Structure 1
Amino acid sequence: MNPGNTWVNALIGAVITIGLSFTGFSPLLGGGLAGYLQAESPKRGATVGALSGVIAAIPLFMIMVLGFWLFVGVPGVHGGFPGGIELVVIVVMMLPMMLLWFGCLSAAGGYLGAYLHTKE
């Protein structure tokens, strides 16, 4: 579609990652598609794949925080409204872990996608 256009390919891969997030390996698929569409070397495919994973991790993290807040933070459930320290702990601990997980898996997928593209 857009060979060499890193941001567009990363965004396409992120959309695929979010759309297939119910599977355990969606970052591999999204990063693989982004690397394949990049149509460059596997190293460049890994870069666009990692970018795709980081882009996809942000909205998924925000959905997770919203779900946690609705589950724990709703007044009247579990004895009242907590002070918000739970959300701070999630942001401090989960965001870097999600960025690392999605970024690394997507980079691996991007490398494989670019490798497959160069072998054609």
Structure 2
Amino acid sequence: MGEGDTLVNALIGAVAGAVASAITGPVGPLIGGGVAGYLEGGERADGLRVGTITGLVSLVPMVLGGVVVLALLGVVGFGLLLDPTAVFAVGAVGAVLVIGGLAAIALTTVALSALGGWVGNYLKYDTDL
């Protein structure tokens, strides 16, 4: 854990972001990226890079959760086999909504983490913190 140790800083930021998400909700990725950017040091681009990596690392549990949700939608769709048109409608609409929602969450998470990395780097070098 130190300046330039990008992967370790990104992992620390991802854990900090997960803990902060449990407390603050959607501000968590910003805090996690900020922690990683502060630890990373270097230039602003380094903070942005480590923040982006932090966001990508924090997506792993989200993707696993999304797979579980899609699997549950499949079980619900399988239970509606009595009417094949209903299975297709429920499955297609559900899959589109879940995949669209996961894509929006992923984009927001990575963007906020990257912004947090930039802000964390700024706080380290341009303030008295």
Report the TM-score range of the alignment, normalised by the length of the smaller protein: 0.7 to 0.9
In the alignment of these two chains, the number of paired residues is 117
Which sections of structure 2, spanning at least 5 residues, go unmatched? 82-86
Match of 1:31 in 2: 33
Q: Is the 8 A contact 1:40 1:118 kept in 2?
A: no
Counting only pairs closer than 5 Å after superposition, residues 28-107 of structure 1 correspond to structure 2 as 28-70=30-72, 72-74=73-75, 80=80, 82=87, 85=92, 88-89=95-96, 90-91=98-99, 93-107=100-114
2:120 partner letter = G
Give the RMSD, CA atoms, in angstroms.
2.7
Compare the two structures and name the one with the higher helix fraction.
Answer: 2
Q: Is the 8 A contact 1:32 1:109 kept in 2?
A: yes
Q: 1:49-99 deviations in whole A, cap 9, x for unaligned? A: 0110111123213213313533x3445x995375654675334x3443233
Task: From the CA coordinates, give the structure whose radius of gyration is larger.
Answer: 2
1:115 partner letter = Y
Partner SS, residue 21 of structure 1: helix
1:116 and 2:118 are equivalent in the alignment: no
Which sections of structure 1, spanning at least 5 residues, go unmatched? none
Counterparts of 2:79 and 2:103, CA distance in 1? 30
Q: Is the 8 A contact 1:50 1:103 kept in 2?
A: yes
Q: 1:16-72 deviations in whole A, cap 9, x for unaligned? A: 2223333111110000000001011222101110110111123213213313533x3
Identity %: 37
Counterparts of 2:94 and 2:58, CA distance in 1? 20
TM-score, structure 1 normalization = 0.77
